Structure 1
Amino acid sequence: MAASDLFDDDRASSPDASRLRPLDLAGADLRYAERAWPRAEADALYVALRDEIPWAPHVLNIFGREVAAPRLSCWIGDADAVYVYSGARFTPLAWTPTVARLRDMLRERHGLVFNSVLANLYRDGRDTVGWHSDDESELGAEPVIASASFGAPRTFRLRSRRTREAALSVELAHGSLLVMAGATQRLYQHALPRRAGVAAPRINLTFRRIDARAG
Structure 2
Amino acid sequence: MQALLFDQSVQRIADETTGPITYQPDVISPALAARWFTALHEQVAWHGGTRMMYERMVDVPRLYSHYAIDDPLLPAVLGTALAVVKEQVQAPFNSIDLNLYRDEHDSVAPHNDKLHELVVHQPIVLLSLGATRTMIIRRKMPPHLKTELALEAGSLLLMGWNAQLHYDHGIPKLQQPVGPRISLAFRVRPHATGSWGVRAEGSDK
TM-score of Structure 1 vs Structure 2, range by shorter chain: 0.7 to 0.9
Count of aligned pairs between the two proteins: 185
* Bigger relative CO (Cα 8 Å, ≥ 6 apart): 2
Secondary structure, aligned partner of 2:42: helix
Shift of 1:50: 0.7
Q: Is the 8 A contact 2:13 2:23 kept in 1?
A: no
Q: Tell me the equivalent position of 1:149.
A: 128
CA-to-aligned-CA distance 1:49-96 (integer Å, 9 cap, x gap): 1111111103335588654310000021146xxxxxxxxxxxx89422
Shift of 1:47: 0.7
Amino acid across the alignment from 1:171: A
- 1:49 maps to 2:45: no
- 1:98 maps to 2:89: no
Secondary structure, aligned partner of 1:95: coil
Q: Structure 1 unaligned segments of length 5 or more: list them.
A: 1-17, 80-91
Rate the CA distance shift 1:204–1:170 in 2: closer, same or farther, 3 A.
same
d(CA) in 2 for partners of 1:139, 1:100: 21
Q: Tell me the equivalent position of 2:137.
A: 158
Amino acid across the alignment from 2:157: L
Q: Is the 8 A contact 1:133 1:185 kept in 2?
A: yes
Amino acid across the alignment from 1:74: S
Amino acid across the alignment from 1:21: V
CA-to-aligned-CA distance 1:137-158 (integer Å, 9 cap, x gap): 0203334111011111111111
TM-score, reference length from structure 1: 0.76
Rate the CA distance shift 1:67–1:163 in 2: closer, same or farther, 3 A.
farther
- 1:23 maps to 2:12: yes
TM-score, reference length from structure 2: 0.79
d(CA) in 1 for partners of 2:65, 2:125: 16
Q: Tell me the equivalent position of 1:75.
A: 66
- Structure showing the higher strand proportion among its residues: 1
Amino acid across the alignment from 1:23: R
d(CA) in 2 for partners of 1:113, 1:143: 8
CA-to-aligned-CA distance 1:22-56 (integer Å, 9 cap, x gap): 41325221121111111111111111111111111
Shift of 1:204: 0.5
Q: Is the 8 A contact 2:19 2:162 kept in 1?
A: yes
Shift of 1:201: 0.4
d(CA) in 1 for partners of 2:88, 2:109: 31
Q: Is the 8 A contact 1:144 1:181 kept in 2?
A: yes
Q: Tell me the equivalent position of 1:200.
A: 179
Amino acid across the alignment from 1:24: I
Percent identity between the two aligned chains = 27
